[in-house]
Amino acid sequence: MTEALYNPADGYYARPAGQVGRGGDFFTSVSVGPLFGRLLADHIAAWHAQAGSPGRWRIVEAGANDGSLALDILARLDELGCAGYEYVVAEPLPHLAAALQLRSGRIRVIGSTEDLLDDPQPGYVLGNEVLDALPFRVIESDGVAWHELGVGVEGDGFAWVDTGTAEAALVEGLPQRPAGYRTEVRDNYGSFMAEMRRGMSHGRMLWLDYGFDRADYYHESRTTGTLRTYSKHRAGEDPLVNPGEQDITAHVDFTAVAEAAAALGGEVLRYQRQGLFLTELARPWLLSLEGRMDVAKELRAFQMLTHPGQLGAKFQVMELGFGETAGRLS
């Protein structure tokens, strides 16, 4: 999965940006328009104020794609008069990094969050549909134990191969399931967040993604897991076909994310559906629209982001606090 998605020459995300949106392979909250970024900017600005308005602070975005969300957030922060911050995007793929830097000189693009370790600052880290793109392991039950599946060559293509009993640490805490039950598991949430945590003196992380808590993720009825591929807005289930030409994803185990954060000294400050989260953020904005007749487009965008039948129930929001000030900030 790492090679299929992130190989610098042939990986899916190594292609020129364009995977996201109506003309791409999948649709995200950013695709709806600038309202999503504006509401997130309001939330970040509120955190900054609650944290005592530090003079130097940093926003770090993971998985920025073409930079649209960054630009929406920056525009709103300008309106709010926020100052003293730098906006950093971590992008290891060289051509995407170059494109981001060209799009806006206000975005500092780095190849790795290791670049932040020498200058820890109060920080706010965010990622929209990033955790679901972290490489995962595929496991299958034989009724007694979990086996890990790898990829082998079969004819001119690839096929799943049973590589033996899965490592105990990988499947620790997972329930026993009937033979043939197949699912996914990630053991990299902690390593993914660790460098970003070390790059902040204190602050928060905000992850918006589709996923479940562990009990729901590994429910006995979910016999084929959540692995999906996407190409031209069509979902599939075989990641071994046309590697590098389609997105590969699986839902997020938010229980595992919370556990990984706790191991880094963090705590869960919120875990809720995107619809509720954005509705809370939008309350002042919605009140300001009262009596106006020119806001139909904005209200349609808000409905798409928050309605249970649209994106509001599809995505979950987990906000994590790190450092001595995290627990007392609302």
Q: CB neighbours (10 Å) of residue 164?
A: 10
Q: Residue 208: is its pLDDT beyond 50?
A: yes
Could you tell me the two tokens for 314? 């599809």
Q: Which of 17-26, 212-221, 245-254 has the lowest mean pLDDT?
A: 17-26
Confidence grade of residue 326 (pLDDT, cut at 50, 70, 90): very low
So what's the pLDDT on residue 224? 96
Domain 18-132+187-210+251-323 has CATH 3.60.15.10: no
So what's the pLDDT on residue 270? 97
Q: Residue 290: is its pLDDT beyond 90?
A: no
Give start and end residues of each alpha helix (H) in 52-164: 68-80, 94-103
Give start and end residues of each alpha helix (H) in the chain: 2-6, 35-50, 68-80, 94-103, 168-171, 189-198, 214-217, 254-263, 274-288, 296-306
Confidence grade of residue 329 (pLDDT, cut at 50, 70, 90): very low
Query: Token match 């920056």: residue?
Result: 74
So what's the pLDDT on residue 42? 97
Could you tell me the two tokens for 254? 């938010």
Confidence grade of residue 170 (pLDDT, cut at 50, 70, 90): very high
pTM of the model: 0.92
So what's the pLDDT on residue 15? 75
Scored b (16 or more CB within 10 A) or e, 190-199 reads: bebbeebbeb
CB distance 89 to 64 below 8 Å: yes
Confidence grade of residue 17 (pLDDT, cut at 50, 70, 90): low
pLDDT tens digits for range 109-140? 999 899 999 999 999 999 999 999 999 999 99
What whole-number distance in Å separates Cα of residue 89 and Cα of residue 62? Answer: 6
CB distance 231 to 247 below 8 Å: yes
Per-domain residue ranges for the chain? 18-132+187-210+251-323, 137-185+222-250
What whole-number distance in Å separates Cα of residue 240 and Cα of residue 324? Answer: 45
* Average pLDDT score, the chain: 91
CB distance 271 to 317 below 8 Å: yes
